């Protein structure tokens, strides 16, 4: 569904990584780990088309990102759910409207009941009218997950989704992601939390990728 | 739901700009209509009438008048020639000399009103014939003083139209500035909308709808104020010249109603262009 083929990217002429090849197929589950600044977030941004690779090819659902055009990229994003590290909410909208935003932006009908069910699923039933700045870090992360899955995406990308959460909440969020994966959604989680990866591997068949030394490797069996 | 947060200053700015420009546009439109009316009136009068003034000793007056009328009757391009009777002539002089002017005691020239055919007559030829046959008769075809006035009125109308074009251009420029400021202030909102799969036209529509509506409301208020101001102008009668005609008459009052929709169209186009220009820089 999302393919990176010998992709390189860098900033200001300095290459962050190169020769990265990755395929996120149907129902796959990947972790992406590595030291801070290695390029995890950059790789994720390439995966939803916010960045264009300096070399190599990125394909969304079989189509080269460069040939998609602006509308084509928007349509591809409607099939990809993203949990951003900083959540990226619209602070003037209620949490409910933020969760429904991908449907609204995609000019699709908003089934109120589905939104309510989803809010209940992530444990935010009592916060539907709350504004994002009034929420705790954990509540924001769960709301971001709800927004990412409201369109039933084929791929879910999550950047440090448990970064602001305590262990219990992290496990709960992980359970939600595993549940989604079991329903067929391909999942890629960028994290440096090795305990989370170990907890996931006990429940799901996940590949762990490590980005380091400007290359993407399959992580060792120690994980 | 408003995916773009309500903006403070740009909202009021657009409303104010549209209102002020519509107000000015109504006046420019009124000036254009008045100048058009004046040019038509003067132009019509210019092409329609001329006067022959006969100054002769009392003993020769009737003879010269008869000669003049005969010359005019046989001149190609003259539709009618009418001797202005004494009472009508008295009415013409009344504003200057009062109602008790003893016309029969004064050696006033006689006036013959000449109406032209659409083809008109040869003024130079007629002057030569009058000079030869009735030396006391002088043709005044009004051309010398009416033509510059007609040209001035036509130019005034052109200036009024140019003013409306400039007002439209200034409105577009100012709405573009306000929309650009609003787009810049909402850069984060635009980025998030793109990331969740919004197409450019969806994002642009949120801004375009807002600015178009503001321009429409502002222009409607400005137009109403402009029309009210024209209605409130004091009636100066005929002595007011152009000022007395500044305004609309009858169905002409419908003309300014086109200003708000036009302002909305200008705002729509300006905001749309600004939005798509900004969106091209957002992935």
Give residue-wise pLDDT tens across range B204-238: 999 999 999 999 999 999 999 999 999 988 766 65
Q: Each residue of A177-200: pLDDT tens digit?
A: 999 899 999 999 999 888 999 998
Give A92→chain B minimum CA distance, Å: 6
Residue that has been written with the tokens 């899955």 in this structure? A149
Please report whether residue B141 resides in a domain.
no
> What's the pLDDT score for residue B255?
94
My answer on whether B37 and B168 are in the same domain is: yes
> What's the pLDDT score for residue B46?
66
A82 neighbourhood in chain B, CB within 8 Å: 195
> What's the pLDDT score for residue B242?
57
Please report whether residue B144 resides in a domain.
no
Q: What is the C-alpha to C-alpha distance for residues B257 and B187, in angstroms, rounded to an integer?
A: 36
> What's the pLDDT score for residue A108?
92
- Residues of A in CB contact (< 8 Å) with B are 48-52, 70-71, 73-75, 77-78, 82, 84, 88-90, 92-93, 97, 101-102, 104-107, 147, 151
Percent of chain A with pLDDT over 70: 98
The two tokens of residue A89 are: 């909410």
A75 neighbourhood in chain B, CB within 8 Å: 197, 199
My answer on whether B129 and B161 are in the same domain is: no
Beta carbons of A105 and B196 less than 8 Å apart: yes
Q: What is the C-alpha to C-alpha distance for residues B89 and A213, in angstroms, rounded to an integer?
A: 110
For A123, half-sphere exposure in the C-beta direction (CA atoms, 13 angstrom radius) is 12
Please report whether residue B147 resides in a domain.
no
Q: Each residue of A29-42: pLDDT tens digit?
A: 999 998 888 899 99
The parts of chain B modelled with pLDDT lower than 50 are none
My answer on whether B34 and B75 are in the same domain is: no
A119-155 in b/e form (b: 16+ CB < 10 A) is: beebbbeebeebbbeebeebbbbbbbbbbbbbbebbb
Which residue among B3, B192, B199 places its CB closest to the CB of A74?
B199
CB-based contact, B262 to chain A, within 8 Å: no
> What's the pLDDT score for residue A220?
65
My answer on whether B237 and B125 are in the same domain is: no
Q: What is the C-alpha to C-alpha distance for residues B125 and A6, in angstroms, rounded to an integer?
A: 96
Beta carbons of B197 and A70 less than 8 Å apart: no
Please report whether residue B171 resides in a domain.
yes
Residue that has been written with the tokens 């949120």 in this structure? B206
SS3 A69: helix
Q: Each residue of B81-92: pLDDT tens digit?
A: 999 887 887 777
Inter-residue contact B13 to B178 (CB < 8 Å): yes
CB-based contact, B196 to chain A, within 8 Å: yes
Average pLDDT, rounded, for chain A: 90
| Per-residue 3-state assignment (H helix, E strand, C coil) for A84-123 | CCCCCCCCCCCHHHHHHHHHHHCCCCCCHHHHHHHHHHCC
Q: Is the pLDDT of residue A118 over 80?
A: yes
CB-based contact, B239 to chain A, within 8 Å: no
My answer on whether B80 and B162 are in the same domain is: no
Average pLDDT, rounded, for chain B: 86
Domain count, chain B: 2
Please report whether residue B152 resides in a domain.
no
B193 neighbourhood in chain A, CB within 8 Å: 101, 105
Please report whether residue B143 resides in a domain.
no
CB-based contact, B185 to chain A, within 8 Å: no
Mutate to test the interface with B, among A105, A115, A155 (most CBs of B within 10 A): A105
Segment among A79-93, A153-167, B136-150 with least mean pLDDT: B136-150
> What's the pLDDT score for residue B47?
65
Which residue among A50, A84, A105 places its CB closest to the CB of B198?
A105
> What's the pLDDT score for residue B169?
94
Of A217, A140, A220, A145, nearest in space to A185 by CA: A145
Paired strand residues for B116: B78
> What's the pLDDT score for residue B239?
53
What are the residues whose beta carbons fall under 8 Å from the beta carbon of B68, sequence distance 6 or more? B52, B54, B81, B112, B130, B134, B137
Please report whether residue B142 resides in a domain.
no
Pairing between β-strand B110-116 and β-strand B78-83 as defined by DSSP bridges = antiparallel
Beta carbons of A90 and B196 less than 8 Å apart: no
Give A177→chain B minimum CA distance, Å: 19
What are the residues whose beta carbons fall under 8 Å from the beta carbon of A28, sequence distance 6 or more? A186, A187, A207
Which residue among B6, B189, B202 places its CB closest to the CB of A90?
B189
Beta carbons of A74 and B192 less than 8 Å apart: no
Paired strand residues for A5: A57
Q: Domain limits at B75? A: 56-135
My answer on whether B227 and B123 are in the same domain is: no
Q: Is the pLDDT of residue A159 over 70?
A: yes
Fold category of A1-79+154-163+181-223 in CATH: Rossmann fold (3.40.50)
Beta carbons of B5 and A101 less than 8 Å apart: no
B194 neighbourhood in chain A, CB within 8 Å: 74, 77
My answer on whether B37 and B175 are in the same domain is: yes
> What's the pLDDT score for residue B241?
56
The ipTM is 0.90
Q: What is the C-alpha to C-alpha distance for residues A33 and A38, in angstroms, rounded to an integer?
A: 9
My answer on whether B204 and B77 are in the same domain is: no
> What's the pLDDT score for residue B263?
95
């Amino acid at each position: 569904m999302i393919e990176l083929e010998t992709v390189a990217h860098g900033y200001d002429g300095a290459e962050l990584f190169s020769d990265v090849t990755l395929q996120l197929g149907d129902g796959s589950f990947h972790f992406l780990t590595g030291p801070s600044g290695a390029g995890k977030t950059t790789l994720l941004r390439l995966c939803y088309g916010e960045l264009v690779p300096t070399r190599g090819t990125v394909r969304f659902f079989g189509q080269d990102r460069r040939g998609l055009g602006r509308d084509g990229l928007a349509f591809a994003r409607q099939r990809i759910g993203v949990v951003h590290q900083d959540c990226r909410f619209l602070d003037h909208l209620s949490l409910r409207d933020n969760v429904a935003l991908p449907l609204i932006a995609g000019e699709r009908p908003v089934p109120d009941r589905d939104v309510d069910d989803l809010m209940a699923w992530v444990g935010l039933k009592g916060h539907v009218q709350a504004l994002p700045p009034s929420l705790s870090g954990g509540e924001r992360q769960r709301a971001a997950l709800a927004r990412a899955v409201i369109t039933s995406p084929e791929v879910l990308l999550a950047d440090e989704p448990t970064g602001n959460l305590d262990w219990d909440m992290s496990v709960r969020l992980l359970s939600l992601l595993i549940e989604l994966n079991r329903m067929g959604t391909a999942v890629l989680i960028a994290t440096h939390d090795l305990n989370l990866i170990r907890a996931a591997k006990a429940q799901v068949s996940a590949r762990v990728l490590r980005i380091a030394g400007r290359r993407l490797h399959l992580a060792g069996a120690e994980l | 739901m408003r995916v773009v947060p309500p903006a403070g200053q740009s909202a009021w700015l657009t409303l104010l700009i549209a209102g002020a420009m519509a107000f000015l546009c109504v006046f420019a439109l009124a000036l254009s209509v008045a100048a058009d009316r004046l040019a038509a009136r003067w132009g019509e009068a210019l092409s329609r009438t001329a006067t022959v003034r006969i100054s002769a000793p009392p003993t020769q007056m009737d003879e010269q008048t008869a000669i003049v009328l005969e010359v005019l009757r046989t001149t190609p391009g003259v539709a009618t020639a009418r001797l202005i009777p004494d009472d009508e002539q008295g009415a013409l002089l009344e504003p200057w000399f009062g109602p008790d002017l003893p016309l029969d005691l004064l050696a006033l020239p006689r006036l013959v009103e000449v109406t032209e055919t659409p083809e008109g007559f040869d003024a130079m030829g007629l002057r030569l014939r009058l000079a030869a046959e009735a030396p006391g008769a002088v043709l005044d075809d009004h051309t010398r003083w009416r033509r510059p006035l007609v040209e001035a009125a036509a130019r005034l109308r052109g200036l009024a139209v140019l003013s409306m074009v400039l007002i439209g251009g200034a409105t577009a420029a100012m709405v573009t500035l306000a929309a650009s400021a609003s787009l810049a202030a909402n850069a984060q909102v635009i980025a998030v909308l793109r990331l969740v799969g919004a197409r450019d036209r969806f994002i642009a529509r949120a801004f375009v709808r807002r600015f178009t509506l503001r321009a429409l409301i502002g222009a409607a208020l400005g137009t109403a104020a402009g029309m009210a101001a024209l209605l409130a102008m004091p009636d100066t009668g005929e002595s007011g010249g152009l000022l007395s005609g500044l305004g609309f008459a009858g169905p002409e009052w419908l003309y300014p109603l086109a200003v708000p929709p036009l302002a909305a169209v200008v705002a729509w186009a300006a905001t749309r262009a600004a939005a798509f220009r900004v969106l091209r820089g957002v992935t």
